Structure 1
Amino acid sequence: MRPTIRLRLTLLYAAAFFLAGAVLIAVMYFSLEHWLGRRPHGGAQVIVREYLAEPQLRGRMNAVDRLASAVGAQAEAERQATLHAMLGWSLAALGAVGVAATGFGWLLAGRVLAPLQQITATVRRVADHSLHERIALGGPRDEITDLADTFDAMLERLDRSFDSQRRFVANASHELRTPLAINRTLIEVALDQPGAPESLRQLGTTLLAVNGRHERLIDGLLVLAGSEQRLIERRYADLAEIARHVAGLAERQAQEADVEVRTVLGSAPVAGDPVLLERLVHNLIDNAIRYNHSGGWVDVRTEKAGRQSRIVVDNTGPEVPDYDIDGLFEPFRRLTGTTRRAEPTSTRGAGLGLSIVRSVVQAHGGSVTAAARSSGGLRVTVVLPAAGSRDAVGASAQRR
């Protein structure tokens, strides 16, 4: 486990306290030693000599010297004992007070870092739900308050930017879809005329295919732009039910491409946007059918494993180079090479299928990976957080 800032601050505070205490004890020790060394402890020897140097005691000078030396030795022993006692008690006091100071430093670090925890919690909520919330940190004007204000200004700019993007997408959807719908209607009316020559019918069919491809491109771009955000509202959905529905709709496309769609659908509950989840599964299966070969197959499997729900789509098809895997999830990227695809050129996709899958997965807080199969084709695995019961998801949505 990596050390937190609070732990590092506490350790730094404790280290500084013990270092300062050790320096203070050293200064006191040498000062006391110097002061005791300047005391006339040898004066006891002088007094003893003067007292015993009386005329009647002059014959006993050897005894006097021995007594004076003993008194000096006793004084030195008492001096050393005083220094050792002072050092021992000082170190013991430093240890006891240091432990208390470390606990106080832990509480103080938590108090100082509390605004940072508030900033982190708010930023996480904003990242998971909406950009409309602000930190709005109160208190004195200091570096932490400046940091919170900087985050608020950044969130304000991001909020305006995404609002502008959503408005642009809404306007673009109207401005781009309307002329394409008019073109499609005009072409269909022209093709329905009884006396239309065969050349006109061929041209109209080609124009309808091109117009349809442009419509799919616009729809894909709109879904891609709309799924870039985290979801505000989540509803209960089962990937197994969605995959069963989408696989049924894809049967005709699979038959035309001579591809078999096989399913093994176990319950895989999630909480999210059912419309986006259906688009996710549709793109996975559609991509697996398009990038396949005649007589191939597509396997769709859903399951729940612990706290995760998965959908795995395997398909036969051309060999996929390893260096192409990462680029498959980028917009307008297709597989390199000229291997035959199970689709006519006029109905080929816009290159947004897997990029939309990645955006939808990220909006639901999941992950998506792709791996090339050794015999050709691709395996795409989508992992999403598993949901509880339908009632639990509904209660969670009401609390939001």
Structure 2
Amino acid sequence: MSGPRTPLRPRRFTLRARLTLVYGAMFLAAGAVLLGLTYVLFNARLGAGGTFSSSSAEPSAAPTGTPARAPGPDAGPGPGPEHQRFTESREDVLRDAAGTSLLTQGGIALLVVGAAAAGSGWLVAGRVLAPLHRVTDTARRIADAPAAGRGLHERIALAGPDDEVKELADTFDTMVERLDRSFDGQRRFVANASHELRTPLTLGRALVETAMHRPAASADIRRLGEDLLQINSRHERLISGLLLLASSENEITERHPVDLADIVTHVVAQAVSAAAKAGIEVTAETAEAWTAGDALLLERLVHNLVENGVRHNSGAGGHVRVTCGTGPGGRAGLRVANTGPTVPPYEIPALFEPFRRLGADRLVTGGGAGLGLSIVRAVARAHGGDADARPRDGGGLTVTVTLPPDPDAGRHAGQEAGKHAGQRAQAAS
């Protein structure tokens, strides 16, 4: 039996990486504009500087095939056409070489400085976003708490300048503080309701029993007392279920190793006789299934599942099959399948909500308050597991519960095996 799989979340492109890319892209864009402007101004300056003078051209640089000769007394006032063309070609070569050198070396420098700017942006973004990571980590710890109210005592208490990030952290702290007060008030209400609601019911039951057992009580009074006791018992079960539902959604502070097989065997042994009166067979197939938690709450979980399977059954000839064992990853698994009327798939999600139950015409035994599966799921989730249901082929329902494994399951299993071996050896002797 495997628990519900958490869908894989795609890898996110983090805000820090996006800010770094924005910083780097903006710097490179500004540098490219600056480099292009410098190149344009450089070319404009070279174009406005005129041509080289004749003295800048050395005789050895004359075009090939033109003899070099010294200027004579009959030389004209300026260089000849061939020298002029040579000078202009040299200017073009020098201009192109200067522009290419400017673009190449400037581009390399821009890339180096851009990489340095991106690295600096990465560091700066990390420091700026560090308070947001604290908010995220605190919210994640509270959200991942397996029980309601756990972790609400945590606060961010961000110190620093009074900016937008600190305002966000302070607002989050205020929200968590209000939630903590709300859950604390809920716990106090549950504790007070446990006393205030059970006391009058207990008193009413005592008064009815006293009136029924008086020697002068008539048969009508005894029948009326039995009806009142049934109503009173139903109210007691309802209140007990509500209190258990509220308490099971809170944090389980103490966890102990528990073998579901022992609990299943105990609960099924108690349910066999009551189910047989309704013509329903209850069987169990158990294997070691170690988990860690509250044994009383887990017993209530198994009891509710078996009771629910008996109540919502097809009557004489029906059966309830209870199976427990270890599934993938060492998780403890429990499955309860019962015969009964066909359950539409769209009705199943509502069965785990409080006070939601199947129609009265589907009940073999009465007395349900509509809290059985709600308590099952609440107890399972308080232990870090979950509960699910699906329609059974041929009618009825199959409920599956998965619980996290006990870290010391191997050691406990070895101890149990040694104890059983010792008992068998002692019996043989």
Is the pair's TM-score, using the shorter chain for normalization, greater than 0.5?
yes
**Runs of 4+, deviation exceeding 4 Å:** 45-48, 51-55, 390-393
Alignment of 1:356-367 (within 5 A): 356-367=375-386
Aligned to 2:86, the other structure's residue is in SS state: helix
Deviation at 1:115, TM superposition (A): 1.8
**1:333 has 2:352 as partner:** no
Deviation at 1:120, TM superposition (A): 2.4
Alignment of 1:257-276 (within 5 A): 257-276=278-297
CA contact (8 A) 1:269 1:304 kept: no
**1:68 has 2:67 as partner:** no
TM norm structure 1: 0.87
Aligned to 2:80, the other structure's residue is in SS state: helix
- 1:38–1:253 Cα change, 3 Å: farther
- Partner in structure 2 of residue 352 of structure 1: 371
2:53 counterpart (44, 51, 54): 44
Q: CA RMSD in A?
A: 2.7
- Partner in structure 1 of residue 427 of structure 2: none
Distance in 2 of aligned mates of 1:253 and 1:108: 71
Deviation at 1:73, TM superposition (A): 1.0
Deviates more, 1:348-357 or 1:110-119: 110-119
Deviation at 1:216, TM superposition (A): 0.5
Aligned to 1:298, the other structure's residue is in SS state: strand
CA contact (8 A) 1:44 1:72 kept: no
Distance in 2 of aligned mates of 1:367 and 1:45: 95
Alignment of 1:98-137 (within 5 A): 98-127=114-143, 128=145, 129-137=150-158
Greater per-residue helix proportion:
1
- 1:15–1:162 Cα change, 3 Å: same
Deviates more, 1:328-337 or 1:167-176: 328-337
Distance in 1 of aligned mates of 2:313 and 2:380: 24
CA contact (8 A) 2:23 2:121 kept: yes
Deviation at 1:392, TM superposition (A): 10
- Partner in structure 1 of residue 417 of structure 2: none
Deviation at 1:383, TM superposition (A): 2.3
Aligned to 2:53, the other structure's residue is in SS state: helix
Specify the code of the residue in structure 1 equivalent to 2:368. Answer: G
- 1:338–1:115 Cα change, 3 Å: same
- 1:252–1:113 Cα change, 3 Å: farther
Deviation at 1:55, TM superposition (A): 6.2
- 1:316–1:197 Cα change, 3 Å: same
- Partner in structure 2 of residue 283 of structure 1: 304
Alignment of 1:139-288 (within 5 A): 139-288=160-309
Distance in 2 of aligned mates of 1:123 and 1:233: 24
TM norm structure 2: 0.82
Distance in 2 of aligned mates of 1:27 and 1:383: 69
Aligned to 2:257, the other structure's residue is in SS state: strand
Number of residue pairs matched by the alignment: 384
Distance in 2 of aligned mates of 1:357 and 1:237: 17
**1:97 has 2:113 as partner:** yes
- 1:29–1:311 Cα change, 3 Å: farther
- 1:240–1:22 Cα change, 3 Å: farther
- Partner in structure 2 of residue 397 of structure 1: none
Distance in 2 of aligned mates of 1:47 and 1:77: 14
CA contact (8 A) 1:320 1:378 kept: yes
**1:27 has 2:37 as partner:** yes
- Partner in structure 1 of residue 75 of structure 2: 57
Specify the code of the residue in structure 2 equivalent to 1:378. Answer: L
- Partner in structure 1 of residue 404 of structure 2: 385
Q: Note the residue ranges of structure 1 that are not aligned, 5 or more in a row.
A: 394-400
- 1:233–1:370 Cα change, 3 Å: same
Deviation at 1:369, TM superposition (A): 1.6
Aligned to 1:317, the other structure's residue is in SS state: coil
